[in-house]
Amino acid sequence: MQSPFGTTRTIVEHNHAVIAPDGHVISPLSGWHETEGVVLISPTMRGGQGGPRFLQYLVHGSAECHANSAPDGVQRLIYVLSGAATLDGTGMKADDFAWFPPGDKYELTVAEGAQVLVFEKQYQPLAGGKTPSRVTGSHASAPAEPFMGDEDAMLATLLPIEPAFDMAVNVFSFQSGTTLPFVETHIMEHGLYMRAGQGVYRLGDRWYPVQAGDTIWMASYCPQWFVAMGKQPASYIYYKDIHRDPLDLAQ
């Protein structure tokens, strides 16, 4: 899916966006030290008016790149896409992840040539509830279940599905020819990164060919559907906001 010059598959609409890697612009990452990357999804996407309520970005590793905490009140999930990282002296490899509650402090490095996907969201504490502690793991060891009974659509949940967590990050793996069972329309918004393979995503009333390396933003209530196509299975990592009062979500 190479584009000739002057064209791109990237599109930013009022309730969804597809960001293809050919348009990535690398810039310094705020809140990280000596680090560059690409901010893929952010609240500025619709000029700050009703845009995404979270951040999704790519970290490009380097010899000096490191991070110690997220901004005040912000939770952060990191997912190693390729290469190596270290977290408080322990090695991380492709498909390892860590979730940090707000206020957590650490020494995180991302090696030269490595790529790390990050999701960040302001944590909304539950009245009288306790903020969860750090979670670490890997895609392979996360619980996975057939989605709505379809063994060709396996959904792995990286974080505990408990009310204390106000975000979920899942890895969805589809055998080629498998679809989401229906066109979903829901209050949760999504940030999605195509991890492998290809397919067609329906967003609103448009259909987009997508492949590994693409990013998708789906606003609350954006109708959505996917079919995996091609010779290999497809998979994507995606974020959603969960477990909070809908009346608290409006910006």
- Please say which residue, 83 or 223, places its beta carbon nearer to Mn ion: 223
Alpha helices in 54-128 (DSSP H): none
In the complex, minimum distance from the CB of residue 89 to ligand UGY, in angstroms, rounded to a whole number: 34
Q: Is the dihedral of CA 216, 251, 239, 116 positive or negative?
A: positive
Does 184 interact with Mn ion (rule: CB under 5 A)?
Answer: yes
- Of the two residues 111 and 142, which places its CB atom closer to ligand UGY in the complex? 142
152's contact among ligand UGY, Mn ion, none, with CB below 5 to 8 A by partner kind, is: none
Query: How near is the Cβ of 181 to ligand UGY at its closest, in Å?
Result: 9
State in angstroms the smallest separation of the CB of 160 from ligand UGY.
16
Query: Which residues make up the interface to ligand UGY (CB under 6 A)?
Result: 172, 180, 184, 190, 224, 238, 240
Residue of this chain nearest to ligand UGY (CB atom): 224
Instruction: State how far the Cα of 100 lies from the Cα of 232, in Å rounded to an integer.
Output: 33
Q: How far is the CB of 1 from ligand UGY (least distance, A)?
A: 21
CA distance 112 to 83: 8
Q: Which is nearer to Mn ion, 60 or 202 (CB)?
A: 202
**Residues 197 and 230 sit within 8 Å (Cβ to Cβ):** yes
Beta carbon nearer to Mn ion, 57 or 239: 239
Question: Residues near 209 by Cβ (< 8 Å), separated by ≥ 6?
Answer: 1, 9, 198, 199, 200
DSSP string of 123-190, one letter each residue: --PPTTPPPPPPEEEEGGGS-EEEETTEEEEEEEESS--STT--EEEEEEEE-TT-B-SS-B--SS-E
85, 61 Cβ separation under 8 angstroms: yes
* Binding at 172: pick from ligand UGY, Mn ion, none (beta carbon under 5-8 Å per type): ligand UGY
Indicate the residue among 66 and 190 with the shorter CB distance to ligand UGY.
190
Q: How far is the CB of 132 from Mn ion (least distance, A)?
A: 23
